[in-house]
Chains A and B, each alone.
Chain A
């Protein structure tokens, strides 16, 4: 069964950093890109960026450039999302999600997300 399993909830002080993990199970880890998406309370879904698990290349949303880093460890089939200089408005549920179509062989443009992690709550207090 294909699934993405994320790390547990985090509570951080304003200004700190958080690193969330996402382990891929049940499919070839390097076959499809993985996105990070967040949803703050009362807000819509917000795209943060994407990583190619095969070579580690990334693309970040402009809003998060300079604060977000996405990495992967092929030996453990895990991708990571680190967000620095946390603020109270970073309080949100963070999801990893697999791209339905984008693979290292072919990626015309980022597409739908067919497998989602269970989400990781990040709470930032001042």
Chain B
């Protein structure tokens, strides 16, 4: 059981916008700790997609954006493309002095 809660799956058609939620608690996201997002394409290692709630590393398209409010965060992907099909994981920090992850969300491009 992951500390952060994500939907197991989301889907969207090419060109559409999808969002993936990440729900935490007052001891992690709600405590003010930043949220980060990773993309894991099939057969590859996780890649940092968003850090510090809404910052993109160099090379990540601006179709990807993040937000945070209260005890939750969201990843939005606009202009959905076939090669966005991947698993997406959120991550934060917890007052228990641990890094915490969500269970991951599988994005299917219809």
21 A-B pairs in the complex with CB atoms less than 8 angstroms apart: A35-B99, A37-B101, A44-B6, A44-B89, A45-B38, A45-B89, A45-B101, A47-B100, A61-B98, A97-B46, A100-B51, A109-B33, A112-B34, A112-B36, A113-B36, A113-B48, A113-B91, A116-B45, A116-B46, A118-B45, A119-B45
Closest to B48 in A: A114
> Which single member of A46, A111, A117 contacts B101 (CB below 8 Å)?
A46
The B-contacting residues of A in range 7-55, CB under 8 angstroms, are 35, 37, 43-47, 50
**With A62-B96, A111-B34, A111-B36: A45-B46 Cβ-Cβ less than 8 Å:** yes
* A80 sits at the interface (CB 8 A): no
Q: With the chains together, A37 CA to B45 CA distance in Å?
A: 11
Q: With the chains together, A46 CA to B100 CA distance in Å?
A: 7
| Contact, CB under 8 Å: A45 / B91 | yes
Additional 9 contacts, C-beta under 8 A, given A50-B99, A62-B96: A44-B101, A44-B104, A45-B38, A45-B104, A46-B101, A112-B52, A112-B91, A117-B45, A119-B45
Q: With the chains together, A117 CA to B45 CA distance in Å?
A: 8
Q: What chain B residues lie within 8 Å of A97 (beta carbons)?
A: 46
Closest to B103 in A: A44
| Contact, CB under 8 Å: B48 / A100 | yes
Tier of interface size on chain B: 20 to 34
Closest to B8 in A: A44
CB distance from B22 to the nearest CB of A (A): 11
Q: With the chains together, A100 CA to B103 CA distance in Å?
A: 22
Closest to B47 in A: A116
* B93 sits at the interface (CB 8 A): yes
Q: What chain B residues lie within 8 Å of A59 (beta carbons)?
A: 97
Q: What chain B residues lie within 8 Å of A100 (beta carbons)?
A: 48, 51
* B102 sits at the interface (CB 8 A): yes
Q: With the chains together, A115 CA to B104 CA distance in Å?
A: 19
Q: What chain A residues lie within 8 Å of B61 (beta carbons)?
A: none
Closest to A95 in B: B45
Most buried by A among B98, B100, B101, B104: B98
The A-contacting residues of B in range 37-61, CB under 8 angstroms, are 38, 45-48, 51-52, 57
